[in-house]
Structure 1
C-alpha cells in the first residue's frame, strides 16, 4: 500500500470515528433529557436497571480477563503399587511385557544422566528438517527399547553441552497411523522436554495434543515453523494468534524456520527452463535459547517431572489392561456358571421356578464376579439381588421361553429333544444375561447396584442376538452331550 493511500485510509477512519463519537454524545444527551422528564419513581426504576446491567457487564469482563489458573499435571500413583498391579496381570500378555519394559526404560534413562528432548507434532510440519538443523550430520543412535528403533530415531549430540539425546518421533494425524502415533506420544512422555512443531495457526487436533502434553506437566516449547515465508507483520500476527490458541500451556511460543529443501522452475536467458533444488537456511536460534533456559537445571532436576509423566501414563495403560483382563475373565466365569446351570436345569418344571434350587449357583457367580472387580458384597446384598432376579423372571418367563423356543427352531437337532432342552437353553439364557448384566454394572460402577443390574438383565433377556443365541445353543448341546455320554 502506498504512502498516499495509507494516509487517505487513516483520514477516512479518523473522520468516521469522530462522527460516531459525536453521534453517541448527541444520543446520550437526548436520552438524559428524556430521563429527566420521567416521574421520579420511573427514574429510580430505570436507574436501578441500568446499574444492574453495568454491574453484570463489569463482572463478566473481570471474569473473562481474570488470570487463568495453570493446569495441574496428572498425578501418578506410587511406583510400588503400580508394579504390584502389573504383576497381577497375565504373564503371557504381550501388552503386560510392554508395561514392564517401560519401567526398565525409565530406570535406564535416569541412570544415563542424559537430557532427552522429543520433537513432536503432526506430519509435514518440518520436524525432521528441524532436527537436521539442530544436529547436523548426526547418525541415529541405537534405542534400547526393542521394537521402536524403526519408529523412533534418537540422535546424540554434545553441541549444546554434555549428554543430549534428541528423539525424532512419527508425525501424528496420519491416516492409518494410530500405532505410530501411540509410539510418538509414549516417547514424548519419556523425554525431559518436548518441542511441539506446527506450521501456522493450531488446528483442533493440535490444540488437543498441546492440552494432553500440558496435562502431563511436560516442559514444552511451541515452535511455529516456516517463519521465513511470512513478512514481519504476518509473523507477529500469527504468533499472537497461536499464543491465544495455546492458552498458556507452552512455556514459550516462538517462530522458527527449519530450513529444508525448496524446488522451483527457473527460466533461462535462452527461453528454456530448468528445475532447481536448493536448501533454505535454518533460523532456529530463538528455539535454542529457549531450550537452554528451560533445561538449564539439568536432567536430574527435571527427573521428577519426567518420572511422574511416565508413571501417570503407565497408570492409564495398566488400567486399560486391567479392564480388558477383567472383561475376558468375566466372560469365562459367566460361561462356566451358565454351563453348570444347564446341567442343573434339565429337570426344571419352568424356567425361573427352581431358581431357589439354583440359588447357590447364582450366589456363587455373584461372589466370583464381585471378587474379580474387587467389590465387597455381603450375604444380605446377594440375597436381595437374587430376590429381585426372581421377580424379574416371574414376570418375564413367557419372554424367556419365546426367545428360547424361537432360537432352538434354528437348531433342529436340539429343538426336537423335548421340553428339557428348552428349559436348559432358557437357563443358559438366564444365567448368561444375569452374569453379563452384573459384570457390566460392577465394571462401570464399582458397586453392586441392584437397580442397574436388573435393568441391564431385562434388556439382555429381550435381546435377540443371533451370534449370542448360537453360542448359547452350542453351550447347551455340549452340556447335553457330556451328560448323556457313558462314563468309563
Structure 2
C-alpha cells in the first residue's frame, strides 16, 4: 500500500510540473476557447451548447484524474482467519470407505479408529509425556508413579517405544501415563511421539528452561489441535529461586497467546546428584545420592486440568485423533494415486512406443501420438479428480511441445546410441530410434503432469509443462535402455 501511495505522489508531482511548464500554452488555449465561444454565440444554439458539454466533460475527467492521484489510499479490512475444523467421525468414515473402495491401504487408519474405540470403552484418562530426548521424561514418570520402572539413562533417546503406566490419582481418577520417545530422536520416533500425544487427553511437555525454536514449534503444533498442555520446567534445582521464577514467568508470557494457554510449573524429576560428604575425621569425599523429586505443583496443575471439564477433554481427544486419522488417510490416498499414476504413465509410454512402430505412413505417427497425449492428460486428471477443459489440455500440450522440442536432439541421440548396444536392431533402427524417443517423451510428459497435479491440485498448463521439461534430466539413459528393450520386443511380436 505504501508503494502505491509513493507512485501516486510521484505521478501527481509529474502532473504539477507539466502544468507549470505548459501554463503559457494553456492560457493561449483558454483564450482560443473563449474566442470560439464568442463566435458560436452568433450561430445555432445546439452547436454552442454541444461545445460547452465537451468542455465540461473534459474538465470532469481532469478533476477525477487529480482526485485518483492525490486521494488517500483506503485499506481493505483484513479477512479474519478461518480456523481449520477437524473432520467429524461420520465424514472421516465415509472418506475411509471411499479410499478402501479405491483399493487404498487404509490399515493404519482403521487401527487408529479401533484404538480410539478401545480407549473410549476403557474410561481412563490418557496423559502423554512429551519433549526432547533426555529432557527427563522417564525420570519424571518415575517421580509421579514411584511403582513404575521405566528405562532411564544418561544418554539421549533411551525410550525407543511408547510405554504406558497406570497412575491412580488422589481424586480416584485412573490415568494411563505414556512415556514417549524424545521429539529430537529419529524422524520415525518423532512421528510416533506426536501421534501418541494426539491420542492423549492431556500432554505434559518437559523442558529444561526456555524453549528453543524447535521446542516452541512442538508446543504450537499441539496447541493448534486444541490439546491441553502443562509445561514442566525440569531440573528446577539447577537455578536460583529468583532465576527460576523469571524463567517460568517468561515461558508463561511466551505461551500466553496459545489457545488454550498452557500452565507452566517447575519440577525436579529426581535422579541422582553428587555431593561432598565429610567422614568422622573431617575428610571430604564426593558421593552420589538420590535427588529428592519435587512434583507437587505438576500434580496440582494436572488435577486442575482434569477437573475442569472431563467431557471437553474427551471431545478434544477425539478431535485430535480424527485429525491424525485424516492426515494418515490423505497420505494413504496420495500414495495410492502416485502408484496408480505411475501405472498410467507406464501404460501410455508403452502405447507411444508401439504406436510409433505401427505408423505406416508419414504423419500417421503425429496423429497417433497426439491422440495418446490427449488421452494421457485426461486419464491423469481423472485420477487426481481435476476437471480438465479441452482448452487447458491443448494449451498444456502446446507449451510442453516447446520443452520437448528443445530436448528432441538429445533424446534421439541417446536413443540411437542405446540401440547400438542391442544386436538385431538392423536396418530398421531409424524407426526404433523414433519409437524409443516417443517413449522417453511420454514418460517425461506423464511424470511431469502427475507431479504438477499432485502438488497444485489443478491443471495449470504452464506450470505442468515446466515440470515436463525438468523430467528430461532424470536418468534419461536408463529409461532409454528400458524402452529399447520394449521396442525390440514389440517389433518382434509384430513380425510374428
Residue in 2 that maps onto 1:484? 492
Which whole-Å deviations, capped at 9, do the CAs of 1:138-167 have from their partners, x for residues lacking one?
378xxxxxxxx9711111122332321111
State the alpha-carbon separation in 2 of the partners of residues 134 and 351 from structure 1. Answer: 83
- Given the superposition, is the C-alpha separation of residues 273 and 332 from structure 1 closer, same or farther in structure 2, using an over 3 Å criterion? farther
Matched, 1:406 2:414: yes
Is 1:125–1:225's contact at 8 Å kept on the other side of the alignment?
A: yes
Is 2:204–2:231's contact at 8 Å kept on the other side of the alignment?
A: yes
For structure 1, the residue ranges without an aligned partner over 5 or more in a row are 1-70, 141-148
**Shift in Å, 1:187:** 0.7
Residue in 2 that maps onto 1:155? 165
Residue in 1 that maps onto 2:75? none
Residue in 2 that maps onto 1:127? 137
Residue in 1 that maps onto 2:235? 226
Structure label with greater radius of gyration: 2
Is 2:108–2:328's contact at 8 Å kept on the other side of the alignment?
A: no
Alignment length (residue pairs): 403
Q: CA RMSD in A?
A: 3.2
Match of 1:185 among 194, 219, 222: 194
Residue in 2 that maps onto 1:365? 376
Residue in 2 that maps onto 1:37? none
Residue in 2 that maps onto 1:196? 205
Is 1:224–1:256's contact at 8 Å kept on the other side of the alignment?
A: yes
State the alpha-carbon separation in 1 of the partners of residues 468 and 104 from structure 2. Answer: 34
**TM-score (structure 2 length as normaliser):** 0.73
For structure 2, the residue ranges without an aligned partner over 5 or more in a row are 1-80, 151-158
Equivalence map 1:231-246=2 (5 Å)? 231-246=240-255
Residue in 1 that maps onto 2:42? none
**Shift in Å, 1:73:** 6.8
Is 2:124–2:174's contact at 8 Å kept on the other side of the alignment?
A: yes
Which whole-Å deviations, capped at 9, do the CAs of 1:365-388 have from their partners, x for residues lacking one?
112101110112234443444454
Which whole-Å deviations, capped at 9, do the CAs of 1:353-376 have from their partners, x for residues lacking one?
833222222222112101110112
State the alpha-carbon separation in 1 of the partners of residues 388 and 362 from structure 2. Answer: 26
Matched, 1:106 2:82: no
**Shift in Å, 1:276:** 2.5
Matched, 1:288 2:299: yes
State the alpha-carbon separation in 2 of the partners of residues 264 and 121 from structure 1. Answer: 28
- Given the superposition, is the C-alpha separation of residues 325 and 267 from structure 1 closer, same or farther in structure 2, using an over 3 Å criterion? farther
Please say which of residues 418-427 and 406-415 is displaced more in the overlay.
406-415
**Shift in Å, 1:317:** 2.4
Residue 307 of structure 2 aligns to a residue in which SS? Answer: coil
Residue 164 of structure 1 aligns to a residue in which SS? Answer: strand
Which whole-Å deviations, capped at 9, do the CAs of 1:198-250 have from their partners, x for residues lacking one?
11121221111111111111100111111123222111122122223435434
**TM-score (structure 1 length as normaliser):** 0.74
Residue in 1 that maps onto 2:269? 258
- Given the superposition, is the C-alpha separation of residues 251 and 458 from structure 1 closer, same or farther in structure 2, using an over 3 Å criterion? closer
**Shift in Å, 1:434:** 1.4
**Shift in Å, 1:184:** 1.0
- Given the superposition, is the C-alpha separation of residues 387 and 280 from structure 1 closer, same or farther in structure 2, using an over 3 Å criterion? closer
State the alpha-carbon separation in 2 of the partners of residues 414 and 96 from structure 1. Answer: 44
Is 2:230–2:262's contact at 8 Å kept on the other side of the alignment?
A: yes
Residue 366 of structure 2 aligns to a residue in which SS? Answer: coil
- Given the superposition, is the C-alpha separation of residues 435 and 233 from structure 1 closer, same or farther in structure 2, using an over 3 Å criterion? same
- Given the superposition, is the C-alpha separation of residues 80 and 446 from structure 1 closer, same or farther in structure 2, using an over 3 Å criterion? same
Is 1:197–1:222's contact at 8 Å kept on the other side of the alignment?
A: yes
Residue in 1 that maps onto 2:350? 339
Is 1:348–1:420's contact at 8 Å kept on the other side of the alignment?
A: no
Residue 258 of structure 1 aligns to a residue in which SS? Answer: coil
State the alpha-carbon separation in 1 of the partners of residues 246 and 149 from structure 2. Answer: 37
Residue in 2 that maps onto 1:470? 478
Residue in 2 that maps onto 1:444? 455
Residue in 1 that maps onto 2:146? 136
